[in-house]
Amino acid sequence: MINMSGQIKRGIPRPGRLFTVKKTLAEAARVYRDARTGAISMKDGTSLIYILANMTRMIEQGEIEQRLDALEEKLKEPKP
């Protein structure tokens, strides 16, 4: 794996699939700990947290969109 500074790092586990807010928050916590302990640079940590924050917002917006679509479909149903 190559970090943002172009250095090769080996043995760093991949974060897995980040399809839920819970998983993106857990990954953000790992990045924070890595930055605090010096495992990654603060610059790299900041960049990764920025990306994770945007991913979290996109997931939340997708969930809201799905809920809104479901409500709109429910409103289209004929009333008894």
- Looking at residue 80, what is its pLDDT? 74
How would you label 14-29 residue by residue, b for 16+ Cβ within 10 Å and e otherwise? eeeebeeeebbeebbe
pLDDT in tens, 6-36: 555 655 566 778 899 999 999 999 999 999 9
pLDDT in tens, 54-66: 999 999 999 999 9
